[in-house]
Amino acid sequence: MSDEVIVAAEALRALIHEIVRHGGSAAAECKIVSNHLVGANLAGHDSHGVGIVPTYVINLENKLLIPNTEVATVRDDGAFLQFDGGKGYGQRVAAEAMQAAIDRCWDTGIVAMTLKNAHHIGRVGTYGEMAVEAGFISLHFVNVTDHFEIVAPHRGSDARFGTNPVCIAMPTSDPAEPIILDMATSKVAMGKLRVANNAGTRLADGIVIDADGAPTNDPGVMFREPKGALLPFAEHKGYGLALMAELMSGALSGGGTIQPGNERLEGIINTMTAIVLDPARLGDVGWINAEVDAMADFVKASPPVDPALPVLVPGEPERLSRAARNANGVPLDRESWEQLLGAGETLGLARSEALAIAGLA
Ligand code: NAD
């Protein structure tokens, strides 16, 4: 049996829609969640794609994820918007909060938006993409709470943070080619360790430490007790950015940080602070875009050390992956696939039906 399953994107969307529907969500929510998760797989981020659904099902059963929850406004004060996600599907409540920030930005030119208490919001670049589609720039700081810590601080030997992503999204003159930096502040996203652990692959050096703080290549240290820790990217700089993402999101949103004085029920709660900015309020957009294009072209023209690996700009790997996976289907490792089918069964979606929806019967 092959250790990989390939599912066409449309069929995978239909399957996730059905699993989420079995979890109690109305059709519109199923659509947002399935589009987002399959979109993450298409972008090449399997860590934030459909493989996370089994965790969502556990959280649904433990009432740590509440379906059919729309975002609630906490503050509406000109350029300042604050929202509470009510433990609803993060893909939905974060999109609602982001859309409100974008709508407001047409009037105010800049918006500071915070979101607290959202269940896992998924691939943060999705919200950057929403901003650039409107012609806006956005910055996003995100933390992870309610969950055990995963990432060690620089010089530390145990975990004190989540993988705290940061995203900066910038339009270019081509709406199809924005520059979107969207990254965990850990060496890799936690989901990538789940994928590696499921696939039985060893990690490169310098990504995780074991429970004694010693370097290891075994992703399993993150999935058994006593747990190890992921390391931040770029030593003290990545650690510093992780801490600032924690504070910018957790403290400003009112949702709180991962410090142990706050509630911890072992769900996955994200808080996000996003700044949305209309470049037209700072200059001529045609000139700004042309300057962005020229700089990106300049950077990309650097002769690659390896001719097979040309210089890219952030957002480009995701576009390349999207083109390939839309054409050839989404590959999922067998273990993640079995876990996904199992999650469907838990909610009452028979395996045979799931395989039929996925076009694999
Ligand atoms: P990654 O390391 O694959 O990519 C990070 C960034 O680097 C991307 O913007 C990508 O376009 C860019 N990039 C990659 N290769 C490049 C190259 N050769 N040249 C130029 N740019 C390049 O991503 P990651 O850090 O593993 O994060 C994966 C995803 O996980 C992100 O979408 C992030 O939002 C998400 N995430 C979410 C949470 C959460 O709690 N919701 C937590 C952590 C991460």
pLDDT tens digits along 224-265: 999 999 999 999 999 999 999 999 999 999 999 999 999 899
Answer yes or no: is pLDDT of 73 > 80. Answer: yes
Answer yes or no: is pLDDT of 217 > 70. Answer: yes
In short, whether 104's Cβ falls inside 6 Å of ligand 1 is no
**pLDDT for position 192:** 82
> Pairing between strand 179-183 and 208-209?
unpaired
CA atoms within 13 A on the CB side of 274: 38
Answer yes or no: is pLDDT of 96 > 90. Answer: yes
Last residue within a domain, chosen from 271, 286, 301 = 286
For every residue of 93-137, DSSP letters joined together read HHHHHHHHHHHHHHHHSEEEEEEEEEE----THHHHHHHHHTT-E
Which of 180, 82, 80, 74 lies closest to 136, judged by CA?
180
Residue 310 included in any domain: no
Same domain, 15 and 108: no
Region 106-112 average pLDDT: 98
Tokens of 311: 């210089």
Range of the domain at 32: 1-61+329-361
Work out whether the CA dihedral 177, 171, 37, 240 comes out positive or negative. positive
Answer yes or no: is pLDDT of 1 > 80. Answer: no
Region 1-19 average pLDDT: 93
Same domain, 50 and 73: no
Contact 140, 116 (CB under 8 A): no
> How many distinct structural domains can be found in the chain?
2
Tokens of 352: 């045979």
Cβ neighbours of residue 327 closer than 8 Å, sequence gap 6 or more? none
**pTM assigned to the model:** 0.97
The residue to mutate among 48, 141, 270, 318, having the most atoms of ligand 1 within 8 angstroms of its beta carbon, is 48
Same domain, 169 and 133: yes
CA-nearest residue, atom 12 of ligand 1:
314
In short, whether 17's Cβ falls inside 6 Å of ligand 1 is no
Cβ neighbours of residue 68 closer than 8 Å, sequence gap 6 or more? 24, 25, 26, 29, 88
Residue 335 included in any domain: yes
Question: How distant, in Å, are the alpha carbons of 9, 42, 324 from that of 328?
Answer: 9, 10, 6
pLDDT tens for each residue of 262-317: 989 999 999 999 999 999 999 999 999 999 999 999 999 999 999 999 999 999 99
What is the percent of the chain with per-residue pLDDT over 90, rounded to a whole number? 94
pLDDT tens for each residue of 320-345: 999 999 999 999 999 899 999 999 99
Residue 199 included in any domain: no
Same domain, 112 and 238: yes
Report the amino acid identity of residue 204. A
Q: Which atom of ligand 1 is nearest to the CA of 40?
A: 32
